[in-house]
Structure 1
Amino acid sequence: MTGSAEEFVAELPCWAGPIELEPLLGGTTNTNFVVRDGTDAMVVRLGHDIAAHGIVRTHELAACNAAHRAGLGPEIVHHQPGALVMRYVEARTLQPSDLAEPAMIARLGRVLGTCHREVAKHLRGPTLMFWVFHVCRGYLAEASAQTCRLSGSLSDLAARNNDLEKRLGPIEPAFCHNDLLAANFMDDGNRLWLLDWEYAGWNSPWFDLANLSSNNEFSQSDDETLIGAYFGREPTRDDLATLLVMKCASLLRELLWNLTQERVSTLDLDYEADTNRYLHWFNTAYEQLSAP
């Protein structure tokens, strides 16, 4: 991409007329804009493949199209290398505080059920697997090969990653979102939309449940509400034990993601503080695995 991001967006061939462009804040691996061309409102996501995070934009496009057909995501109206253009959704982006309500947690659980049952039916072409333990091993290998402020902890984190994989055991894979931050959900008053499919891939459904829980600091009561809404039954002790294993895996992935961002990102965000926060959460959750 030559010139500024704004110039690149203005030159996209999908506009019906002169555009009004507004930066959309909040992206951690993309530059985003809301664009109005006098006819429609669109969201433009600018970003290329990111090898350090396993982000492949052609795969993201396939996942976005499948999510739209499954009723979870907006329509993609244009794509080209470096740019993804989708219809603007008139809806409210969820905040972490919204997820403190049991009714919302139940809605989220049902959305994940739809994601895992329906999105794969609409996928076309080759797809990726997001096996979180493999992802973590990749991050750990890269961190070990670089100058890293957590170098003294990497071997222990690698051993814990392997332990978590053994504890989980066999899985029934589903096509998962794998990045369930509150900001990736929007509520239009009638339905929830699920956005940002750049990490989507085949995984254990328990990862999405755990990722949603750990990213948003759910309590055990919240976890029980989530599991109940997802499965349509009361959660069991085995359910909660499996969820805890995957919460540890999710937290480990988040801390290693932020540790990688400390090295590769050019965005003005405090990744070091987030790494430290996730490290604390991971250690706390991992200790719970051995608690009576």
Structure 2
Amino acid sequence: MGAENTIAGGADEARVRALPLWKGPLTVTPLKGGVSNASFKVTDSTGSYVARLGGDYPFHQVSREREAIASRAAFEAGLSPELVHAGDGVMVMRFIAARTYAEADVRANAGACVDILKRCHAEMGKRITGQGAIFWVFQILRDYGRTLEQHNHRLAPHVPQWMAVVDRLEAAQLPLPIVFGHHDILPTNFMDDGQRLWLIDWEYGAFGTAMFDLASIAANNSFDAGGERLILERYFEAEPTEALWRAFHAMKAASALREAVWGMISELFLAAPGVDYVAYAKEYLGRFEAVHAEYVKTYGA
């Protein structure tokens, strides 16, 4: 598989323990659930924190410097816990005692999930410093496709077919205002502390349109038609037009394909203990194929 970035292990815990910001007795506990970074809960005399290790991932277009900027903006906007340290491939956030969502939780709390994304889109952009990054899923998919071909990935022969679909899905998009989006709407990035909802992990935070975040809620959390209507009506505060529905369903297919190809790229470059990137890619490729088939049935090729 040729993995170049092995994640987690005793060396990672040692790096966390060696950070100069801790005070007093120290407890470090590995956290489970990440698919591309190693994380630890750290408790010292000042409180509890989450330390997450992970360098720049150019193969995923991930810059930790940009992520830190987005994380600080998210804290200022009241969306995420405070970032207290960033540097040398380590980010440290304040720990929040909260429950991580599963897909069923996102569906059951869809209104709140849409609302926090709407706050993200309204509040984040004005707080971003430095050169603004952009997230356009169709460019990302084309870049991923080239990477699969250059590395002779086992599914590289399918890339031309997928890229033809990408072109058609992009053509279905509508002009929308540019906002700062999260772009990684997996259920585990929503956390509920019993009083409020939090939105965490800003690796893919960048400027774009709202449609990718909205479509990703549906694509990554198995929404039915009624749930999708709730997403659009809650966000736009109006009855969706036919053109908006088409753009949404096209972006939903693009979102599922991006998640699938993300898994394929991860096969080449990452090695997280307990994470099966082949199975991850297969699951989301199945989602993409189902969503795209329904899109073609409804709107034509």
Of 131, 138, 141, which residue of structure 2 is paired with 1:136?
141
What is residue 158 of structure 1 aligned with on the other side? 163
Q: Is the contact between residue 106 and residue 226 of structure 1 (CA under 8 Å) also seen in structure 2?
A: yes
Answer with 144-153 or 55-64: which moved more: 144-153
2: CA distance between counterparts of 1:229 and 1:176? 17
Once the two structures are TM-superposed, the CA of residue 169 in structure 1 deviates from its matched residue by: 4.4
What is residue 266 of structure 1 aligned with on the other side? 271
Amino acid at match of 2:103: P
Once the two structures are TM-superposed, the CA of residue 126 in structure 1 deviates from its matched residue by: 1.4
Gaps of 5+ in 1: none
The answer to whether the aligner puts 1:27 opposite 2:56 as a matched pair is no
What is residue 6 of structure 2 aligned with on the other side? none
Q: Deviations over 1:115-156 (max 9, x none)?
A: 000011111111210110000000000111122211221110
The answer to whether the aligner puts 1:125 opposite 2:130 as a matched pair is yes
The answer to whether the aligner puts 1:95 opposite 2:105 as a matched pair is no
Once the two structures are TM-superposed, the CA of residue 287 in structure 1 deviates from its matched residue by: 2.1
Once the two structures are TM-superposed, the CA of residue 24 in structure 1 deviates from its matched residue by: 0.9
Once the two structures are TM-superposed, the CA of residue 113 in structure 1 deviates from its matched residue by: 0.5
Q: Deviations over 1:193-234 (max 9, x none)?
A: 000000111112000001111001111111111112212233
Identity %: 37
Of 285, 288, 297, which residue of structure 2 is paired with 1:282?
288
Q: Is the contact between residue 125 and residue 207 of structure 2 (CA under 8 Å) also seen in structure 1?
A: no
Q: Deviations over 1:170-192 (max 9, x none)?
A: 33221100001110011112211
Q: Is the contact between residue 116 and residue 176 of structure 1 (CA under 8 Å) also seen in structure 2?
A: yes
Report 1:1-292 matches (<5 A): 4-101=11-108, 104-268=109-273, 269-292=275-298
Once the two structures are TM-superposed, the CA of residue 161 in structure 1 deviates from its matched residue by: 0.9
Answer with 262-271 or 128-137: which moved more: 262-271
Answer with 224-233 or 84-93: which moved more: 224-233
Q: Is the contact between residue 174 and residue 247 of structure 2 (CA under 8 Å) also seen in structure 1?
A: no
1: CA distance between counterparts of 2:10 and 2:42? 18
Structure-2 change in CA distance of 1:233 and 1:170 (3 Å): closer
TM-score normalised by structure 1 residue count: 0.95
1:291 counterpart SS class: helix
Which structure is richer in relative contact order (CA contacts within 8 A, separation 6 or more)?
Answer: 2
How many pairs align?
A: 290
Amino acid at match of 1:117: A
2: CA distance between counterparts of 1:240 and 1:170? 13
2:271 counterpart SS class: coil
Amino acid at match of 2:253: C
Once the two structures are TM-superposed, the CA of residue 278 in structure 1 deviates from its matched residue by: 1.6
Amino acid at match of 1:179: D
Q: Deviations over 1:52-78 (max 9, x none)?
A: 101100000000000001110111111
1: CA distance between counterparts of 2:130 and 2:105? 36
Q: Is the contact between residue 93 and residue 184 of structure 1 (CA under 8 Å) also seen in structure 2?
A: yes
Gaps of 5+ in 2: 1-8
1: CA distance between counterparts of 2:207 and 2:143? 17
